[in-house]
Chains A and B, each alone.
Chain A
């Protein structure tokens, strides 16, 4: 088991380095440098040079990258913002990240509560009107992006019916629309996957054997089917989580939710690229860590995966 975890972590390192280097390099390839922009047109060359020294931008790009990585590795230093009086980025993350985490967590919960039962019912009543309706709904939900769903929900529920607040993040009621907007697509993905997974299981011999043995269909599914059908669903959780992370950028922008997505998008127009870099890196690490966790969990639940991956 330990070897399995170590292997997964080692495999993630090249992805992380590639992402961090790409993020780092691309910003430096841009036509006009950040220092020139914050200093303004009237700045003397001496001021520009002073600023460059302060932010370590006078060194060669590769040395800057090494410094950046070493800074993160030794004392978790992500650099400081170009704006906001040079506030450290780790400090900004401490206030913004919990908001995004709460949004993602609630959306995931919503997706599971809606998606999994829908998928199970659709599979149990395969080809019934419910199944057809649910699958039509799935394609519809997958096709309606959050940039359409969010504003439409605001228009109907907040502006016309006045049931819910338009935007912001101050009370639990405020979190309702962003949660639903973010979770809808994932709910559809989970429903579709749960359905096909359970349909596969229902065709297996051991289910037929259980029924032949005298189990009712419902009991056979409950005792043998669901557990086996839920296993593959766990593997798409990584994809679902990725969709939630990218979606949070959009949903936070629509509803003005003060999380890392909203903050990143805001920082773009302010050309505050250390902030973007830090947020991008955090999101990348988060995504990779979650995926490793899912893989490990999968290995814990299903011994076949473990024995496949680890050498004897």
Chain B
């Protein structure tokens, strides 16, 4: 049915199909806007996220007006600022965690899948142990245990605990995926040819195997991003994640619970932001999976 005979590379084909999916386009645009807002949070906001506007506003929280578009919270802080800086915190934490777990997962998976034998066995037993436990639960328990044993954690350790709790539970999924795909590709003729002509192992892994795994890896990364955004918000909601004065959507939701009858906007603003962001990532992930699915190629 195609008019031209020009053949596209798998990724170019996937990109073309992605652009034709309206839901994916909307989700993509939303995420680009969000990322811009998060990176430029200090340009788009008039107040610092921890500035308490108690001089002009004697009763806080105060409803939205021309000074504070989304009102102020119980300490007189601008909700709009906290929303944008909260996006920075949420996306920043997510980026760090996903990069760590992807690096660990991909390299271990490639290595185990290609080498096989004892390396493979050891890695698979390790992922078995990790898989014996649900991700979020493990993250909750890890952070809970760390926090219960101490007074107030210093900032870096608190953030470190968060990265560790979220990162340590994420990598096995990626490792298994990459290992499985590598096992399948290892026996292909082009890999055999590369091996026969003496291409070093590192080049086989990085230049012949990895590029052919990009589709499944990208799909998995999208899923991980959604999972980590949710996990960070949930941990912060339970006071196990990002600590004050840093804003977090999850903590903003928690703080709004006491007064939601009178100040519904304090609940609605971060809730909508969180739900829309996760939804956009999930829709984009679904579209990517379809776009990379070879059975759906034209």
Enumerate chain A interface residues (CB-CB to B < 8 A).
Answer: 11-12, 14-15, 18-19, 22-23, 26-34, 37, 139-140, 142-145, 147-148, 151-152, 154-155, 159, 239, 242-243, 245-246, 249-250, 253-254, 264-265, 267-269, 271-273, 275-277, 280, 283-284, 287-288, 291
Determine how close the nearest CB of chain A comes to the CB of B84; give it in whole angstroms: 19
Give Cα A284 to B145, complex, Å.
Answer: 14
Contact for B145 among A249, A265, A269, A276, CB less than 8 A? A276
Question: Do A264 and B153 contact each other (CB < 8 Å), given the known contacts A11-B128, A15-B132, A148-B271?
Answer: no
Report whether B282 and A151 are in contact in the complex, using a CB–CB cutoff of 8 Å.
no
> At the interface, yes or no: B13 with Cβ under 8 Å from chain A?
no
* Chain B positions within 8 Å of A143 at CB level: 226, 275, 278-279, 282
Complex: A148 Cα to B278 Cα, angstroms: 12
User: What B residues does A139 contact at CB under 8 A?
Assistant: 279, 282-283, 286
Chain B residues positioned under 8 Å from A18 (CB to CB)? 129
Is B256 part of the contact surface with A, judged by Cβ < 8 Å?
yes
Q: Summarize A's interface: helix, strand, loop or mixed.
A: helix
Given A148-B274, A151-B260, CB of A31 within 8 Å of CB of B153: yes
Pick the interface stretch among B40-48, B135-143, B192-200: B135-143
CB-CB under 8 A from A15, the residues of chain B are 128-129, 132-133
B187 within 8 A of A: no
Of B67-75, B114-122, B232-240, which stretch is located at the interface?
Answer: B232-240
Interface contact tally, CB-CB below 8 A: 146
Q: Is B211 among interface residues, defined by CB-CB distance under 8 A?
A: no
Could you tell me the distance in whole angstroms from the C-beta of A20 to the nearest C-beta in chain B?
11
Q: Which of B142, B148, B239 contacts A267 (CB 8 A)?
A: B148
On whether the beta carbons of B237 and A147 are closer than 8 Å, the reply is: yes
The distance in angstroms between the C-alpha atoms of A271 and B61, with both chains bound, is 31
* B239 shortest CB reach to chain A, Å: 7
Q: Which of A242, A246, A271 has the most CB of B within 10 A?
A: A246
Q: Which of A19, A22, A28, A265 contacts B144 (CB 8 A)?
A: A265
Are A246 and B137 interface neighbours, CB within 8 A? yes
- Tell yes or no: B245 within 8 A of A by CB: no
Which residues of chain A are within 8 angstroms of B148 by Cβ–Cβ distance? 27, 34, 267-268, 271-273, 275-276
**Residue B134 is within 8 A (CB to CB) of chain A in the complex:** yes
Given the interface pairs A142-B282, A147-B234, A152-B267, the reply to whether A243 lies near B134 with Cβ below 8 Å is yes
Are A268 and B147 touching (Cβ within 8 A)?
yes
Query: Which residues of A have CB within 8 Å of B226?
Result: 143
A291 near B141: Cβ-Cβ < 8 Å = no
- For A23, the chain B residues whose CB sits under 8 A away are 141, 145
- Name the A residues within 8 Å of B132 (CB-CB): 12, 15, 19, 287-288, 291
Q: Does B38 contact A (CB under 8 A)?
A: no
CB neighbours of A254 from chain B (8 A): 257
- Chain B residue nearest to A143 in the complex (CB): B279
Known: A31-B150, A148-B274, A242-B137. 17 other contacts (CB 8 A): A14-B129, A15-B132, A19-B132, A22-B142, A27-B146, A27-B149, A30-B146, A31-B151, A33-B149, A147-B233, A155-B267, A246-B135, A271-B148, A271-B149, A275-B148, A276-B141, A284-B133
Knowing A159-B261, A271-B150, A276-B145, the reply to whether A19 touches B133 (Cβ < 8 A) is yes
Q: Contact: A276 with B271, CB < 8 Å?
A: no
Within 8 A of A (CB), among B93-145: 128-129, 132-137, 140-142, 144-145
Complex contacts, A280 vs chain B, CB 8 Å: 141, 144-145
Within 8 A of A (CB), among B265-285: 267, 271, 274-275, 278-279, 282-283
Question: Considering the chains assembled together, what is the distance between the CA atoms of A140 and B137 in angstroms?
Answer: 22
Q: Which of B128, B150, B261 is A32 in contact with, Cβ under 8 Å? A: B150
- In the assembled complex, the Cα of A152 lies from the Cα of B238 at a distance in Å of 17
Let me know if B87 is at the binding interface, CB within 8 A. Answer: no
Q: Decide yes or no whether B244 CB sits under 8 A from chain A.
A: no
A-B contact pairs, 28 of them (CB 8 A): A11-B128, A15-B128, A15-B132, A23-B145, A30-B153, A31-B151, A32-B150, A37-B150, A37-B151, A143-B275, A145-B278, A148-B274, A151-B253, A151-B271, A242-B133, A242-B134, A246-B140, A249-B137, A250-B237, A253-B237, A268-B144, A268-B239, A273-B148, A275-B148, A276-B141, A284-B141, A287-B132, A287-B133
- When each residue 220-247 of chain B gets 1 if its CB lies under 8 Å from chain A and 0 otherwise, what string results? 0000001000100110011110000000
Distance in angstroms from B188 CB to nearest chain A CB is 27
- Known contacts A28-B149, A144-B275, A151-B253; decide if A249 and B238 are in contact (CB<8 Å): yes
Contacting residues, chain A, for B234 (C-beta < 8 A): 145, 147, 250
CA of A245 to CA of B132 in the docked complex: distance in angstroms?
14
- Cβ-neighbour of B151 out of A11, A32, A273 (below 8 A): A32
> CA separation between A245 and B274, bound complex, in Å?
22
| Min C-beta distance of A259 to chain B, whole Å | 14
Listed from nearest, the 5 A-B pairs whose CB atoms lie closest are A242-B134, A30-B149, A30-B150, A143-B279, A246-B137
> In the complex the two chains form, what is the Cα distance from A11 to B128 in whole Å?
9
